[in-house]
Structure 1
């Protein structure tokens, strides 16, 4: 009988310990679940603490659940500027060094020629984009290169000759309908302007025509919404794209 009693007591003791272990595991899993949810979303410290206290009350837990936990309020500790800076740093670290070298050479060239107010520069994995506003190259509704824009194209022709890459000329317009004797749509106007720049670079600056191509995008790829004259002027532009071929880099 004593042996049976001892066996029964041992079984009860084991059962009690197993229950506590299961409960502890459950609490750990729930806490892990909440941490995972937090990592995938943006919550405030107040909401996180309220949810944790609610779970604590439901399971009869103590204060230890919240001890040592730190919640960062995204409204105060993060910002769009910080995120943008971080993304730029990551982009610079992962971009092809040869592409970044090309970009820096283009920026330096524009600064040396003192034409940074006439042309802006961007880049992505496809190449270097030199953006020229319509007002520098063309009159309203025209694809004839203005005398005031020829020097800018002379400088950019010199820039293009520094590289062996293919070059694509892209024309863009705003969304104001185009009706005149020369062009019946923004498609035609944007393509006509791209072709005018292409011909100038080939015929006046001796850029090999086999390197050149022209595209017209009309009004369908705006930089900004066409909701003001200032924005529409930004969308009326020509891009000279120095195409980056990774095999060449």
Structure 2
């Protein structure tokens, strides 16, 4: 019976070595990739910093960060010094973001005007009777109905005449346009003189306007009146107190740029 011959061993490395070498190559590539990611490119870093500077704060990137010279990619903040002094700052001392944003959008002229009006109110002792506010359009002097008028009336009462008289000197300090705005609550008005809240709000505004012009000689060309009825409440008309807040007259000292814009484009 013939014997089976053994197969001769193939020359060269074992077959598993090919798989092993591929695995080692992949591992080497992986570690090289990790190393390359850990090295900070100064040129690339400054490009990114410059882009952030342009997008966020508008100042030089060199003022924000400075390379320390270390090869491990450390960066040092220099422009702002020791930040430890800010550790004890109370969050309540920080100005709300909304307030900062609003202040940034209000023209400088309006801020100056608001300061002038505020100082005038303090000197005249009107802080308890009047609420001040401001926006891009100008400064708003808010006077509640109870000071100016009796319910359902557009005739200035004694306290109303005194308050408007105290304000009249303020309007001599500048020549801005002045808009008097009347507002009511949502309780329907219906009588022979005032068929609706529209008429009541307009006539109240006109009463204040005429008093300024006729009694204190405020230039009529600076004055205008508007009535909004119940349609622009400052708070919901859902309680007696809220309705009282909505019955008011606003005297708007208009920002000069807005007045110029209303004249239309130059030819």
Which of residues 228, 235, 259 in structure 2 aligns to 1:217? Answer: 228
- Partner residue in 2 for 1:126: 137
Which of residues 193, 198, 206 in structure 1 aligns to 2:209? Answer: 198
The DSSP-based 3-state class of the residue aligned with 2:120 is: helix
Residues 1:97 and 2:108 are matched in the alignment: yes
How many Å separate the matches in 2 of 1:239 and 1:158?
17
Q: CA RMSD in A?
A: 3.1
Decide whether aligned partners of structure 1 residues 117 and 181 sit closer, same or farther in structure 2, where only a CA change above 3 A counts: same
Residues 1:185 and 2:199 are matched in the alignment: no
How many Å separate the matches in 2 of 1:210 and 1:114?
29
The DSSP-based 3-state class of the residue aligned with 1:122 is: strand
The DSSP-based 3-state class of the residue aligned with 2:193 is: coil
* Greater RCO, CA 8 A, separation 6+: 1
Range moving further from structure 2, 156-165 or 185-194: 156-165
- Partner residue in 1 for 2:26: 15
How many Å separate the matches in 1 of 2:159 and 2:203?
18
Decide whether aligned partners of structure 1 residues 15 and 157 sit closer, same or farther in structure 2, where only a CA change above 3 A counts: same
Decide whether aligned partners of structure 1 residues 204 and 17 sit closer, same or farther in structure 2, where only a CA change above 3 A counts: farther
1:219-247 CA-to-partner distances (Å, cap 9, x unmatched) read: 01101111111110000000000011337
Q: CA deviation at 1:175?
A: 0.4
Decide whether aligned partners of structure 1 residues 14 and 119 sit closer, same or farther in structure 2, where only a CA change above 3 A counts: same
Q: CA deviation at 1:160?
A: 1.5
Q: CA deviation at 1:156?
A: 1.6
Larger radius of gyration: 2
1:155-175 CA-to-partner distances (Å, cap 9, x unmatched) read: 222112211111111100000
- Partner residue in 2 for 1:142: 153
Q: CA deviation at 1:89?
A: 3.7
Is the helix fraction higher in 1 or 2? Answer: 1
**Count of matched residue positions in the alignment of Structure 1 and Structure 2:** 194
Q: CA deviation at 1:14?
A: 3.0
Unaligned runs of 5+ in 2: 1-11, 34-89, 261-267
Q: CA deviation at 1:88?
A: 2.1
Decide whether aligned partners of structure 1 residues 162 and 8 sit closer, same or farther in structure 2, where only a CA change above 3 A counts: same
Q: CA deviation at 1:180?
A: 2.1
Decide whether aligned partners of structure 1 residues 10 and 94 sit closer, same or farther in structure 2, where only a CA change above 3 A counts: farther
- Partner residue in 1 for 2:175: 164
How many Å separate the matches in 1 of 2:106 and 2:95?
16
Decide whether aligned partners of structure 1 residues 21 and 194 sit closer, same or farther in structure 2, where only a CA change above 3 A counts: farther
Q: CA deviation at 1:3?
A: 11
Unaligned runs of 5+ in 1: 23-77
The DSSP-based 3-state class of the residue aligned with 1:102 is: helix
Decide whether aligned partners of structure 1 residues 193 and 84 sit closer, same or farther in structure 2, where only a CA change above 3 A counts: farther
How many Å separate the matches in 1 of 2:115 and 2:216?
23
